[in-house]
Amino acid sequence: MLTTFQRMSAQVAARSPYPLALQGLLSLVLLATPLNALVAGFGGHPLRFWAIVILMLFQLLICSIVPIRRLRCWQQLAVLVVMSGIVTLASAIIPVTMLTYVLLTIVLQAIYLFRPWIWIPFACLVWLGWNGTLFLVSSNLLDWLQSNLTLAFPATCILIAAIVYARQHRHHAQVQQLLDQMQYHYDTLLVKLRDVQQHAALEERHRLMQMITSDISSALANTEQSVVTAIGQAQTNLGKFQATMAQTRLAASAAIERLRGSVAALRGEHQQYVAYPALGPAMNLVQPVDDILTVRSRKALTWILPLVFVTLALPLAQFYQPFDLIVIGKLLLFCGILLILYVFTQHLRHPLLIQAGLAAQSVAVLTLVTATQTMPLLFGLLLVMWQIALRLSTVQIVTVVLGVYTSIGFVLAWALPVTDDYSTYLLVMAVVGAVVVGLLGTARRQLSRRRADETRLAHLATLIREIEQQEAEVRTLAIAAEHTHLARELHDDLGSRLVLLNVQLQLVEDLIEDDPAAALEQLVTTREQLSVIWSSIGTIAAGKSLLDGTTLAPALQALILPYQSRVRPHIELAITGALTALSAEVAHTIYRVVQEGLTNACKYADAHHIVVTILCEAGQVQTCVRDDGRGVAPSADLTHCGGANTPGKFGIAGLRERALLLGGNVDAGPLPEGGFGLALTLPLQEALR
């Protein structure tokens, strides 16, 4: 039921030209117009009464249907000017003060729609037009002056309450707009945070590959050009062929050194990480919220409202009573008491004391009305209602308005003669009081909502700063991870292939004198190896692995083939268990371990025999590469490898990183029986797809 009501309220609010609170107040004021006409005795004048009703309905229809908030400023002003002109013309035909209600609704709309420098001149022009019309059609100047004095204080209270409401509404709208922007910024950051790691890695890979491949590609191009030149020399001039091969070896060595420098830089020895800005700055919060009235405004109104009432009380009393010093003395006495009570109540803070002060002010106003027999002074209760709306809770406001002021109405009916004027003033008092309390109560509610929105705004700003910090940290970690990943791929893939290329070129040099034809054949094969290296650069740049459990075994056979057929050592590959269930990450890691083991055995160990074994058994998958070469300095701890001067420095470190990411480990070191061993162990549950 509550949800249905809230949904219906939201639909009505969305279609209403004004906020529901203001729309309700406008409707209340307009509906009071024909009611006041009946109370004032216009029921005996059907034409006048129905003219007032039609005018009220027309104004109510305009306020309820015309989407005035969607119009431009000059269009809104034009609508209100036309409405004011119609009411002013009606005042010339039917010169009654109750049409002031209709003009009041127009001024309220102007206060809501426009800035002060627009609505203040507009309100002044409306008042001048209405008063000028009444003055022209009035046959009695004193009646015209009396009607203006009577309505002056209620109009002042309504205008000030409307200004307070408009001010709070604008501030609340500004905070709500800022909150919506902050919420959108927060949601955007959450979406970006989910993808920032991938985006940062892709951006960094693209940047690094552009930087690194341009350098390595230049060295590879020089090497390829030297190989092409060497092939041409081998077919024509053996002496030049030998000299060219020396240059080719130097070019290949230069490519290896450039690759080694790039890997070292990516590992952090020379590379400075790039600082990336945050996705967006945290929005500045608005200033801390103030009260419904600023300190200066509160002090001003403490004196302005009662002084306006006291200033108007004396001439009003003279209109209703003949000049009498006793009446004037009573008036001044009770006005002074009211003023003192009003100012004193402003300094009270305890709820019971505040209500006692308000009750004392109400008694002072009623005594003033009774002593002077002047009903317009009843509007002094607006001072009390103003304080009620600002300082009491909603329950207290309802209790006071429905209980206390109903009792006041009965007291006045008993103490004073019931006349048409009495009923009119009581009705005006009720309408104006409802408008003042409604405007100020709505302003207080907007202030409360604004404070809640600003609290949420501060919380969102804190969350945004945390997300931006997380984003920066994730981006930094993603960049560092991409540096490490790219360093591993460059070392393990391009490094191994360049080492094999260099070994093949050395074999060509060894074969030149003994078997030039075999040397030429080996050199042509080396050129084919360069094509493989060029394609490897593209694969690394794309960041994709073409391996998985089903393609691992053929890939290992293809990896071993160049070493087996063109380099000295004899290589054995033994696979036990099924590899098809292995994930792409595990298959790629196993491939890199075998590749690193073969490269180190050929480059450093001078091995004659290499054994590669892969064992998939319950619980784990093991990969081991053993050779019978020179090995390294004996050590009881096989994990102690990869020092500053140790061959395979970056290779072993990279393999350990790969293994740790998959929950495994790598052991590397000299074997007791001689040679060198490289072993990878991964838990099978981590390896399975």
Largest CA distance in the chain: 144
Residue 679 token pair: 């072993």
Tell me whether residue 14 is exposed, middle or buried, using C-beta atoms within 10 angstroms of its C-beta: 0 to 12, 13 to 18, 19 or more: exposed
Contact 601/683 with Cβ under 8 angstroms? no
The span from the CA of 198 to the CA of 383, in Å, is: 66
Map tokens 């004048």 to a residue. Answer: 45
Instruction: Indicate whether 532 belongs to any domain.
Output: no
Instruction: Indicate whether 450 belongs to any domain.
Output: no
Instruction: Indicate whether 651 belongs to any domain.
Output: yes
What is the span of the domain harbouring residue 649? 546-689
The CATH number covering residue 583 comes to: 3.30.565.10
Report pLDDT for 269: 46
Count structural domains, the chain.
Answer: 1
Three-state DSSP string of 609-660 = EEEEEEEEECCEEEEEEEECCCCCCCCCCCCCCCCCCCCCHHHHHHHHHHHH
Report pLDDT for 543: 63
DSSP state of 244: H
Could you list the mean pLDDT of each consecutive 10-residue stretch along the chain, which spans 689 residues?
61 71 80 72 68 82 83 88 85 72 83 84 84 70 74 83 83 87 86 75 70 70 74 64 70 76 66 41 42 64 82 81 77 88 86 85 85 83 85 75 64 58 72 82 85 88 86 78 75 76 76 73 75 72 68 84 69 86 85 85 77 86 87 40 43 83 87 86 65
Q: How many other C-beta atoms can be found within 10 angstroms of the C-beta atom of residue 653?
A: 18
Instruction: Indicate whether 647 belongs to any domain.
Output: yes
| Residues ≥6 apart with Cβ < 8 Å to 681 | 620, 621, 622, 659, 664, 665, 666, 667
Instruction: Indicate whether 380 belongs to any domain.
Output: no
Instruction: Indicate whether 214 belongs to any domain.
Output: no
Instruction: Indicate whether 639 belongs to any domain.
Output: yes
The span from the CA of 280 to the CA of 182, in Å, is: 11
Helix (H, G, I), strand (E, B) or coil at 377: helix
Residue 620: strand pairing partners = 617, 683
Report pLDDT for 289: 42
The span from the CA of 406 to the CA of 428, in Å, is: 14
Instruction: Indicate whether 638 belongs to any domain.
Output: yes
Helix (H, G, I), strand (E, B) or coil at 267: coil
Contact 552/545 with Cβ under 8 angstroms? no
The span from the CA of 591 to the CA of 680, in Å, is: 11
Q: What is the pLDDT of residues 373-401, one digit of tens each?
A: 787 888 888 888 888 888 887 777 777 66
